């Protein structure tokens, strides 16, 4: 049952992630991103990482996707046609497909990954108290820097989306 559940969540995540890439409408792509994050949370639950699943849904699905949707709606972007550039996108696509194919072939050639014995692996994130201790001691600086970068990004979006009087004449 666990393998079936894991495979279903993995397929769901791949399909919705493909929807993020393929959609031309930014709102539909954001909704597919939300579903993809829910699928990843389901994968975490299938792997018995309940805290990571909750944090993923809380931070990414709850905050980042909602912020992205508000920005898209605030800027009122239209799905204009992209300018056509011949040559380079075709080379990039072929290179990307080739690299993915090479990765899949090398993964299959080396066979399956060996899983470690669960009795010998320490449960690093099993306790919320230990997780919080590491977060506020060892990883305090990266968390502070990330919060500061998110604050700068939010202020940048507010400045870019603000309509100033008299700006229509400049165009």
Given this model, what pLDDT does residue 19 score? Answer: 92
pLDDT digits 0-9 by tens, 81-99: 555 656 667 788 888 889 9
Q: Which CATH architecture is the domain 1-78 placed in?
A: Up-down Bundle (1.20)
Residue 7 has pLDDT above 70, yes or no: yes
- Please report which helix (H) or strand (E) contains residue 91, including its range: helix 88-109
Is 169 or 129 the better-scoring residue by pLDDT?
A: 129
pLDDT digits 0-9 by tens, 36-60: 999 999 998 888 888 888 888 888 8
Given this model, what pLDDT does residue 40 score? Answer: 92
Cβ neighbours for 28, distance < 8 A, ≥ 6 positions apart: 19
pLDDT digits 0-9 by tens, 133-167: 877 888 888 888 888 888 888 888 777 777 666 65
Instruction: Tell me if 130 sits within 8 A of 51, measured CB to CB.
Output: no
Domain ranges in the chain are 1-78, 126-166
Residue 74 pLDDT level (bands cut at 50, 70, 90): confident
- Buried b / exposed e over 94-125, threshold 16 CB at 10 Å, is eeeeeeeeeeeeeeeeeeeeeeeeeeeeeeee
Q: Output DSSP code: residue 85.
A: -
Read off the pTM.
0.54
Three-state secondary structure string covering 21-68: HHCCCHHHHHHHHHHHHHHHHHHHHHCCCHHHHHHHHHHHHHHHHHHH
CA 92/CA 81 separation, integer angstroms: 20
Residue 119 has pLDDT above 60, yes or no: yes
**Least confident window among 18-27, 92-101, 128-137:** 128-137
């Amino acid at each position: 049952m666990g393998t079936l559940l894991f495979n279903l969540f993995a397929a769901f995540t791949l399909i919705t992630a493909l929807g993020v890439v393929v959609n031309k409408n930014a709102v539909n792509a954001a909704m597919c991103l939300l579903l993809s994050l829910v699928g990843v949370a389901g994968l975490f639950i299938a792997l018995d990482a309940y805290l990571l699943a909750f944090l993923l849904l809380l931070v990414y699905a709850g905050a980042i996707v909602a912020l992205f949707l508000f920005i898209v709606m605030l800027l009122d972007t239209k799905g204009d046609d992209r300018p056509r550039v011949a040559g380079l996108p075709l080379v990039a696509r072929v290179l990307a497909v080739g690299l993915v194919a090479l990765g899949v072939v090398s993964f299959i050639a080396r066979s399956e990954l060996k899983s470690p014995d669960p009795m010998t692996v320490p449960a690093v994130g099993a306790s919320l108290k230990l997780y919080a201790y590491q977060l506020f001691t060892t990883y305090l600086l990266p968390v502070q820097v990330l919060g500061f970068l998110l604050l700068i990004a939010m202020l940048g979006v507010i400045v870019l989306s603000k309509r100033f009087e008299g700006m229509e004449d400049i165009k």
